[in-house]
């Protein structure tokens, strides 16, 4: 099935020019074409079209995989009255009974939070089997981490002013993985600073291998 994702501004990647009104044509799990929406629509008249406000970019890379998924507990909504809604770390985490099944459930909720921030990959070694299983089942990429990132850990990869090359996954290009995110931010004249200013909480959709795994309702 062919799907065209069209946005107010397309940022194919750090090495490619921004494209106002650009689009990505997705076939299955991969990118079939990248270019102006009108061109892609004319070439694939039978494709399904999704129009998105804001900016479409490659998905984000979060450097804090172990910190967010193995050193923090993401409470179940049913536990909100007792534990709150924010991730628990340190002494609060140590006070919990954490069998493997509970770690797996926490990781699944943590992955959903990552997806809601436009994240399609995390860096760092995941040692718990239940956590690795939760991550791989979703399709979230796991990458090697060559150095410890500066703290504190955050769900927002755009926080802290890291270079675009460290934040964004590979360029959206023909034949590449259809991993991307859409952010409800004004395109502006300087798109990367615009994203940095507004942050990844503005994410409205995240796709991995062409599948929309997060869409803000």
Task: Name every residue whose Cβ is closer than 8 Å to that of residue 191 and which is 6 or more positions away in sequence.
Answer: 9, 11, 18, 55
Lowest mean pLDDT: which of 48-57, 84-93, 136-145, 194-203? 194-203
Instruction: Mark whether 82 and 50 lie in a shared domain.
Output: no
Flag whether 161 is in a domain: no
Is residue 151 domain-resident?
Answer: no
For the question of whether the overall pTM of this predicted structure is more than 0.85, the answer is: yes
Q: What's the mean pLDDT in 7-31?
A: 92
The reply to whether 69 and 136 lie within a common domain is yes
Total domains present in the chain: 2
Verify that 79 and 55 share a domain, yes or no.
no
Identify the domain boundary among 103, 128, 143: 143
Co-location of 81 and 126 in the same domain: yes
| Residue span of the structural domain in which 70 resides | 61-143
pLDDT band of 190, cuts 50, 70, 90 = low
Instruction: Say which CATH number the domain at 37 has.
Output: 2.30.40.10
Q: How far is CA 198 from the centre of its chain?
A: 15
Residues 81 and 105 in one domain: yes
Mean of all residue pLDDT scores within the chain: 92
Q: How many CA atoms lie within 13 A of 162 on its CB side?
A: 18
């Amino acid at each position: 099935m062919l799907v065209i994702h069209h946005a107010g501004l397309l940022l194919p990647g750090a090495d490619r020019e921004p494209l106002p009104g650009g689009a990505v044509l997705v076939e299955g799990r991969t990118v079939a074409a990248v270019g102006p929406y009108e061109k892609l629509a004319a070439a694939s008249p039978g494709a399904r079209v999704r129009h998105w406000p804001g900016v479409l970019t490659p998905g984000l890379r979060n450097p804090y995989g172990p910190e967010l998924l193995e050193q923090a507990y993401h409470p179940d909504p049913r536990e909100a009255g007792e534990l709150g809604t924010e991730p628990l770390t340190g002494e609060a985490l140590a006070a919990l009974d954490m069998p493997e099944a509970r770690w797996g459930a926490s990781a699944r909720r943590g992955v959903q939070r990552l997806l809601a921030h436009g994240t399609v990959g995390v860096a760092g070694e995941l040692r718990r089997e239940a956590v690795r299983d939760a991550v791989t089942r979703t399709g979230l990429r796991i990458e090697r981490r060559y150095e410890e990132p500066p703290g504190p850990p955050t769900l927002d990869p755009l926080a802290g002013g890291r270079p675009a090359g460290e934040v964004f996954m590979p360029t959206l290009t023909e034949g590449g993985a259809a991993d991307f995110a859409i952010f409800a931010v004004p395109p502006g004249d300087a798109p990367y600073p615009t994203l940095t200013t507004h942050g990844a909480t503005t994410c409205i959709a995240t796709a991995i291998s062409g599948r929309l795994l997060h869409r803000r309702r």
